[in-house]
């Protein structure tokens, strides 16, 4: 993959797809260069379900108290790789680069303060339309990526905190450490950990699960009670779903089309990063890992239908950004495969198991939607079109009614 555009998955394919009247991005992740590592277990089996285990270190330290008895509003939160970050007051204006942290902030009731995002189309805020009283207008968010990410936009936005791993800025967006230091000193601190994937060789420090990172951000916004309410409901939903899974679960190939209609795909292995949480929760096997296919983010190239036929996964999961539906996948991907001389021989095509695989960046809200979509696709006889979580309950937590 090219490093000229670190946010592009496949610079040789079309970057956008027309879906109805909307423009939908076919790209997903912030970068696919060969930085080493693999986002899967060595055996190729799916990693254990990610749980909401509380971190051992306290999420926030107690505020100091002056001798006069007046409570000092300052506090600190620790997270690798940024260390301990001091806050004089709760941040109001904030932004991430990747939409996993955007979703976490929305879940914590901070949507009004969200000022920017790396690439708008990769933020699945359209799912919020099903949650009463929850919304984000992406058109109002400053887009950070414009053939690069300029320091000036950080000055212009003047946020209270940048929810971004500083090493992501250096290794994926071509900043220098002096750029990170300058913005951290002159504007606001960086606070984040690249947790959506675990393939980057430069990420040699703690990886956080979704709920570990979510708890850290909750400490920043002083919303630990809201975090706890979300964590408890998440555990309830996951338990209800996993208790219904069959003994035998399918092997899945997660693929990003290199074009539409596709003749080749970028492969994404199921691993421990938060981008794979819904597959791990559903105990999906990784057909790509079991056949030694290198993840695109770790430098793996495109695979064609001949290679895919050798793998012959039980299920093909099409991962795309934007407002993609199963109907769109059926019309633009599956129909082409059925008429293709080689693709038509795939077990997944013959058994009507080409499904929408969701988006890359997911926080606690989007994870529930992607979990539901994937469960319906993997286990239609068990889940059908059933809603697997209560939209009103999620909205109540987001809106403070917990």
C-alpha to C-alpha distance for 279 and 247, rounded to whole angstroms:
15
Q: What is the pLDDT of residues 259-279, one digit of tens each?
A: 999 999 999 999 999 999 999
Are residues 391 and 134 in contact, defined by beta-carbon separation less than 8 angstroms? Answer: no
Q: In b/e form, how buried is each residue of 249-282, taking b as 16+ CB within 10 angstroms?
A: bbbbbbbbbbebebebbbbbbbbbbbbbbbbbbb
Please give the average per-residue pLDDT across 388-393, as a whole number: 98
C-alpha to C-alpha distance for 356 and 45, rounded to whole angstroms:
21
Cis previous bond, 261, omega within 30: yes
Q: Determine how many CB atoms are found less than 10 A away from the CB of residue 156.
A: 13
Q: Is the pLDDT of residue 236 over 80?
A: yes
pLDDT classification of 72: cutoffs 50, 70, 90: confident
- The whole-angstrom distance between residue 319's C-alpha and the CA centroid of its chain comes to 12
pLDDT of residue 1: 40
- Residue 24 forms beta bridges with which residues? 17
Torsion-angle region of 184 (φ positive above 0: left; ψ -120 to 50: alpha; else: beta) = alpha
pLDDT of residue 68: 53
Closest by CA to 162, choosing from 85, 107, 69, 232, is: 85
C-alpha to C-alpha distance for 337 and 331, rounded to whole angstroms:
10
The CA-based angle 216-220-226, given to 5 degrees, is: 75
pLDDT classification of 354: cutoffs 50, 70, 90: very high
Report strand pairing: 264-268 vs 251-257.
antiparallel
- Collapsing DSSP to helix, strand or coil, 265 comes out as strand
C-alpha to C-alpha distance for 272 and 289, rounded to whole angstroms:
13
Lowest mean pLDDT among 46-50, 61-65, 90-94, 112-116: 46-50
pLDDT of residue 372: 98
The DSSP letter of residue 259 is S
C-alpha to C-alpha distance for 229 and 211, rounded to whole angstroms:
12
pLDDT of residue 71: 79
pLDDT of residue 233: 98
Lowest mean pLDDT among 64-73, 113-122, 305-314: 64-73
Q: What percent of the chain has pLDDT over 70?
A: 83
- Collapsing DSSP to helix, strand or coil, 189 comes out as coil
The CATH number fitting domain 16-48+245-396, selected from 1.10.1740.10, 3.40.50.2300, 3.40.50.1980, 3.40.50.1820? 3.40.50.1980
pLDDT classification of 59: cutoffs 50, 70, 90: low
Q: Is the pLDDT of residue 353 over 80?
A: yes
Q: What is the pLDDT of residues 275-304, one digit of tens each?
A: 999 999 999 999 999 999 999 988 899 999
- Collapsing DSSP to helix, strand or coil, 264 comes out as strand
C-alpha to C-alpha distance for 400 and 397, rounded to whole angstroms:
5
Q: What is the pLDDT of residues 161-197, one digit of tens each?
A: 999 999 999 999 999 999 999 999 999 999 999 999 9
Distances (CA, A) of 305 to 113, 179, 262, 263, 374: 45, 44, 9, 7, 23
The pTM of the full predicted model, rounded to 2 decimals, is 0.85
pLDDT of residue 151: 97
What is the rounded average pLDDT for all residues in the chain? 87
Q: Give the DSSP H/E element, type plus range, for residue 87.
A: strand 83-87
Are residues 389 and 237 in contact, defined by beta-carbon separation less than 8 angstroms? Answer: yes
CA dihedral 118, 120, 123, 126 (to 10 degrees): 160
Q: What is the pLDDT of residues 358-371, one digit of tens each?
A: 999 999 999 999 99
User: 366 — phi, psi (to 5°)?
Assistant: -65, -30
- Looking at per-residue pLDDT, the higher value among 36 and 214 belongs to 214
Report strand pairing: 264-268 vs 303-304.
antiparallel
Q: Which residues belong to CATH 3.40.50.1980 in the chain?
A: 16-48+245-396, 75-242
pLDDT of residue 30: 34
Q: What is the pLDDT of residues 333-352, one digit of tens each?
A: 999 999 999 999 999 999 99
pLDDT of residue 40: 32
CATH architecture for the domain at 75-242: 3-Layer(aba) Sandwich (3.40)
Q: Is the pLDDT of residue 46 over 80?
A: no
Q: Is the pLDDT of residue 18 over 50?
A: no
Lowest mean pLDDT among 62-71, 80-89, 103-112, 175-184: 62-71
pLDDT of residue 61: 53
């Amino acid at each position: 993959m090219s490093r000229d555009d670190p946010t592009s998955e496949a610079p040789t394919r079309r970057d956008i797809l027309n879906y109805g009247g909307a423009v939908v991005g076919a790209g997903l992740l912030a970068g696919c260069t060969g930085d080493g590592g693999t986002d899967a277990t060595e055996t190729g089996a799916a990693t254990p379900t990610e749980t909401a285990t509380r971190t051992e270190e306290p999420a926030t330290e107690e505020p100091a108290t002056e001798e006069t008895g007046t409570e000092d509003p300052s506090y600190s939160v620790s997270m690798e790789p940024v260390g301990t970050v001091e806050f004089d007051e709760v941040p109001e204006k904030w932004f991430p680069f990747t939409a996993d942290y955007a979703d976490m902030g929305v879940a914590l009731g901070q949507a009004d303060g969200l000022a920017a995002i790396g690439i708008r189309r990769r933020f699945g805020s359209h799912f919020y339309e099903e949650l009463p009283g929850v919304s984000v207008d992406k058109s109002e968010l400053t887009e950070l990526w414009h053939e690069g990410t300029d320091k000036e936009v950080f000055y212009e936005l003047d946020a209270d905190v940048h929810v971004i791993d500083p090493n992501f800025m250096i290794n994926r967006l071509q900043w220098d450490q002096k750029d990170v230091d300058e913005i951290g000193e002159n504007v606001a601190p960086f606070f984040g950990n690249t947790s959506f994937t675990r393939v980057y060789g430069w990420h040699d420090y703690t990886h956080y699960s979704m709920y570990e990172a979510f708890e850290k951000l909750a400490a920043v916004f002083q919303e630990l009670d809201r975090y706890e309410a979300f964590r408890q409901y998440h555990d309830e939903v996951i338990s209800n779903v996993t208790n219904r899974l069959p003994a035998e679960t399918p092997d899945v190939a997660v693929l990003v089309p290199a074009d539409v209609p596709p003749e080749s795909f970028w492969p994404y292995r199921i691993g421990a990063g938060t981008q794979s949480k819904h597959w791990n929760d559903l105990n999906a096997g990784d057909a790509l890992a079991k056949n030694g296919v290198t993840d695109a983010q770790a430098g793996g190239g495109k695979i064609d239908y001949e290679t895919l036929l050798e793998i012959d996964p039980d299920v093909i999961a099409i991962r795309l950004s934007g407002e993609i539906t199963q109907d769109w996948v059926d019309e633009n991907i599956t129909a082409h495969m059925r008429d293709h001389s080689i693709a038509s021989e795939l077990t997944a095509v013959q058994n009507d198991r080409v499904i929408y695989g969701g988006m890359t960046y997911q926080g606690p809200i989007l994870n529930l939607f992607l979990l539901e979509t994937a469960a319906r696709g993997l286990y239609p006889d068990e889940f059908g079109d059933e809603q697997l979580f209560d939209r009103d309950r999620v909205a109540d937590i987001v809106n403070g009614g917990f």
